[in-house]
Amino acid sequence: MSANEMWGGRFAAGPAAVMQEINASIDVDRRFAAEDIRGSKAHAAMLADQGIISEADRDAILDGLDRVAAEIAEGRFAFKAELEDIHMNVEARLKELIGESAGRLHTARSRNDQVATDFRLWLRGALDGLDAAMADLQRALIDRAEAHADVLMPGYTHLQAAQPVTFGHHLLAYVEMVGRDRGRMADCRKRLNECPLGAAALAGTSFPIDREATARALGFDRPTANSMDSVAARDFALEFLAAASIHAVHLSRLAEEIVIWMSEPFGFVTLSDAFTTGSSIMPQKKNPDAAELVRAKPGRILGSFVALATVMKGLPMTYGKDMQEDKEPVFDAADNLLLATAAMAGMIDDLSPRPEAMRRALEKGFPTATDLADWLVRVLGLPFREAHHVTGALVRAAEEAGVDLAALDLPTMQAVESRITEDVYSVLTPEASAASRTSLGGTAPANVRAAAAAARKRFPETASGGRKGSAR
């Protein structure tokens, strides 16, 4: 069947070659093949149930669509650019297989509501796959947090040593971030789960269709409520891209930390050869390329959001051919986000902490200074602002002596604040500092273990049983 036959009698001549090239979308929307056939089967069944087509036509259509699906799955289907898109490619092949009955399939629908339905079906499946990958990342983080609940490291603000924290506590921060990301994706899935099929081109149809039936058959919660909105809306795709951008940023932050932790000045962690590469000329190099690539992903994913938002921003109701540009950004973002999430879960499973390097880093930057200030408030009753001033003076004295706070002698301390006693040294070790942070959400090892257990309950899909990384 030619493109002209599909269009009917309105056009006497075929399109110019360049028009065909710019107009065709089959190289992109062929990814909708399974969804397109699924939607067509639901539509055909509904048409027969409503008496709009005969049961014989329905059966021929359903059988033919199964044969088309098999050809596509087996790589035997010949996609044709002159047929423009997945919808016309499937329908043309259906006609070759079953004859004139194929022409009844498009009753009471348009490619406008057809593609909107395909897109929602595809994105719904992509969201489900992505949620499983995000849950696996949470599982990897929780596993590592439990295994390293007691490992001390510097916590940073402004990338300056601030206070002692535990490695497990640090990892659990990303469990919370990913949990919110999953919530945004779940919200997106909930809102997109309405069925546009039956809206037809934009105004609905005069045929007595049952949109509730097709929505149920395709697993949607309900039909869309307004036929114009049904074919015009792409906010579900924009919402996905916005949520995807946020998740990509979170992945990128964790990736950046891995890059920093693996750098020579830090040396806090190592990754195996499975997630690193070497240099073509420097044999000593072990580069965290997987982390660096994850770190880069927000650029293209946020770019996808901007691209689609720019396409949609000035479009009047309802469908414009501009909207053919809606799929590539979503496909690219979904593919890359799934890859980045899986790669990050793999890295966390593979990652080996180096507690001795983390502990050495706690000897710099006076990370127990806040504990000293808290002691002055708690034991001596100083107002915190005064305690802050006294602690600053003691830090300066320690800097001048070339020692940390725990090594500053008592007379020097008492020269700044005469009421300080030997008891102050009980809070000046990183171990004591971390153990004391028992407030809700704090870094104390006991808190970390409890928080990890609570996270498994809040996110039950993260129960250990996926990829297993040895607790290094």
SS3 at position 308 = helix
**Closest-CA residue to 370 (of 161, 187, 219, 209):** 161
d(CA 26, CA 168): 48
What does the DSSP assignment read for 229-266?
Answer: HHHH--HHHHHHHHHHHHHHHHHHHHHHHHHHHHSTTT
Side chain identity, residue 390? V
In the numeric block, the tokens 């000897």 are attached to 363
Instruction: Write out the catalytic residue numbers.
Output: 158, 279
Q: Which residues contact 277 (CB under 8 A, 6 or more apart)?
A: 286, 287, 289
- Tell me if 3 sits within 8 A of 84, measured CB to CB: yes
Q: For the chain, what is the largest distance between any 2 Cα atoms, rounded to a whole number of angstroms? A: 101
- Tell me if 331 sits within 8 A of 123, measured CB to CB: no
d(CA 267, CA 276): 15
Q: Tell me: cis bond preceding 318? Omega within 30 of 0 counts.
A: yes
Dihedral pair phi/psi, residue 15, rounded to 5°: -75, 155
Burial of 328 (C-beta count, 10 Å sphere; 0-12/13-18/19+): middle
d(CA 307, CA 305): 5
The tokens of 398 are what?
Answer: 């320690």
d(CA 296, CA 465): 30
Q: How far is CA 365 from the centre of its chain?
A: 35
- The angle that helices 445-458 and 111-147 make with each other, rounded to 10 degrees, is 150
| Torsional class of 463: left (φ above 0), alpha (ψ -120 to 50), beta (otherwise) | beta
d(CA 170, CA 437): 14
In the numeric block, the tokens 């792409």 are attached to 234
